[in-house]
Amino acid sequence: MAKEVKFSLVFRDMWQAAGKYVPRVDQLVKVAPAIIKMGCFDRVETNGGGFEQVNLLYGENPNKAVREWTKPFHDAGIQTHMLDRALNGLRMSPVPADVRKLFYQVKKKQGTDITRTFCGLNDTRNIIPSIGYAHDGGMISQCCLCITYSPIHTVEYYTNIAKELIDAGCDEICLKDMAGIGRPAFLGELTKNIKAIKDITIQYHSHAGPGFNMASILEVCKAGCDYVDVGMEPLSWGTGHADVIAVQAMLKDAGFKVKEINMSAYMEARSLIIEMMDDFLGYYIPPRNRMMNSLLIGPGLPGGMMGSLMTDLETNLESINKWKEKNGKPKMSQDELLIKLFDEVKYVWPMMGYPCLVTPFSQYVKNMALMNVMQMEKGKERWTIIADEIWDMMLGKSGKLPGPLAPELEAIAKEQGREFHTEDPQSNFPDALDTFREEMKKENWDLGQDNEELFELAMHPQQYRAYKSGKAKRDFLADLEERKAKRAAVKGGVELPQTIVVDVNGVKYNVTVGANNGENASAPAGGSVAITGEGNDLLSPLEGKAYLIKNAGEVPVKVGDTVKKGQVVCYVESMKNFNAISAEADGVITQICFTSGASVAEDDVLMKIK
């Protein structure tokens, strides 16, 4: 009898691999019937970390989205699944245990059947608790092996982890080949090894970008894989996933039992996706992400990150070129920056202990590489700016690194008085739900059905507060209008708006020059605060958003405070990392030149210290 292989449409990841945002709930509900009518899917990935956060970022409630989006699939008998970042839950930073437990209770009641738990360090101490949390919440626990290619990540390495997770009680195993760089023969051998341990359900997830994944899909299926993740046009291939049409045809020809595809429904769903892209989502999808690129084999960056990477790279390139123009040097192209970034990722990855390049550790390695490139392009040294979250990973606070940390980085850690960690990572992050309950009570916010609003605040505090205040919606709409204006200007052959800083009688202003119809032509620099204080300028070393504190428990500095050289006085959040900014000398703060959360450019004055 032919082996049956079933398909899962990774609808959430399709969007995340293509660009920055995912559809709104009204768009999701509209496309669901067409996906169901296609008749070929037994599972659909409906939500996960990126899904939750981007809903908040554009001012929508992700709880409403999950409930309405999962319902039609349940009614049709199709299972839904989502990503869980283990210790990090649905965000970039570690999560208290009580928040992790609430996560499973909430998502099951909202309609999610399966949780796909992964840790970028493949540290089972972070993954195994989620097995129990999932079962307690009534969910299926699918545990991941994060696949990458290095001297450390061998078939034996992964087989041992799979056995440990199976012994701990997981229901399924996912081979999470997030960069698509798993070699086909390697993956086939690994699948056989897992099936030899136990005839457990195996699901294979991969991205098309580097070019291996069709061969890999065939190999894992021959070795016993049960489910394959697929995408569909116009968001398949490129940094996304293999298209269901091609995968279905390949497996059918190879003798596997696979479901037929209702092509009229496929075209209907495809049209609706194009409609979503035309509405607003296409403004956040760089064209380069629609292409496959074997250069991705080297750095091994995950497809799910490439969507936002290419969007964010525009800002980084602008920052570098501003410096180059100011210093009389030739500008850099995006291709040049991309190649330098890829080469630097290959250089720093082994030095940082070979963490698997998957969220959040892929961002940490990429951010470190990009920061090094930006610093070196400006004549500075590597490792001059290392965000706290990156240090936490390298020093073991997030889990055990697969490989050793480079002596060069150990020396920097020792010089800065940083400590290495060997304890259970969860012990570093105490329970916090009571604190968030108090905040909701104080703000008169409803805890929500099944405590889902409490969960959202606890999981994504900054984004949730911005959502509740309306700031998130305003910022998103402003950004969307700017992108639309830029695209219209390009089509019309008009020079794009540029922002320059001018000094008028000692007060610095940001002035927008270009096609903006004269609106918002100028505003005081440094987050709308005119620079008038005495003392030395403390400049932002990079572009991002400036904050006085990173966590609610910190006490912000204020004008009149005495500070010591090396004391952290604020943060610039860039590329999803908070970069600590320290005083460059002893002195007194005479002015804070930004409002919290305001965008700052490189070399903007953050503070005056006398």
What does the H/E/C string look like for 414-442?
HHCCCCCCCCCHHHHCCCCHHHHHHHHHH
Q: Single out the residue of 34, 77, 65 nearest to residue 271, CA to CA.
A: 34
Model pLDDT, residue 519: 37
The mean per-residue pLDDT over the stretch 275-294 comes to 83
3-state secondary structure of 288: helix
Domain termination site, one of 393, 410, 428: 428
The mean per-residue pLDDT over the stretch 366-390 comes to 88
pLDDT at 498 over 70: no
The mean per-residue pLDDT over the stretch 109-133 comes to 96
**Same domain flag for 302 and 419:** yes
CATH of the domain at 545: 2.40.50.100
The verdict on residue 492 lying in a domain is: no
3-state secondary structure of 133: helix
The mean per-residue pLDDT over the stretch 345-353 comes to 93
Domain termination site, one of 397, 428, 459: 428
Residue 89 to residue 103: CA distance in whole angstroms? 8
Angle at the Cα of 174 (from 207 to 202), degrees rounded to 5?
Answer: 115
**Same domain flag for 421 and 532:** no
The verdict on residue 48 lying in a domain is: no
The verdict on residue 489 lying in a domain is: no
Rg of the chain on CA atoms, in Å: 24
Highest mean pLDDT among 340-349, 445-454, 480-489: 445-454
Domain termination site, one of 378, 406, 428: 428
Model pLDDT, residue 520: 37
Mean of the per-residue pLDDT values for the chain? 88
The verdict on residue 285 lying in a domain is: no
Model pLDDT, residue 493: 54
The pTM (predicted TM-score) of the whole model is: 0.80
% of the chain at pLDDT higher than 90: 60
**Same domain flag for 534 and 423:** no
Residue corresponding to tokens 């629609």? 290
pLDDT at 439 over 90: yes
The verdict on residue 264 lying in a domain is: no
Q: Token pair for residue 27? A: 């768009």
The verdict on residue 530 lying in a domain is: yes
The verdict on residue 125 lying in a domain is: no
**Same domain flag for 424 and 530:** no
Model pLDDT, residue 513: 43
Upstream peptide bond of 234 is cis (omega within 30 degrees of 0): yes
Model pLDDT, residue 511: 45
Count structural domains, the chain.
Answer: 2
Query: Residue 575 is part of which domain span?
Result: 526-609
Pairing of strands 140-146, 172-177: parallel
The verdict on residue 472 lying in a domain is: no
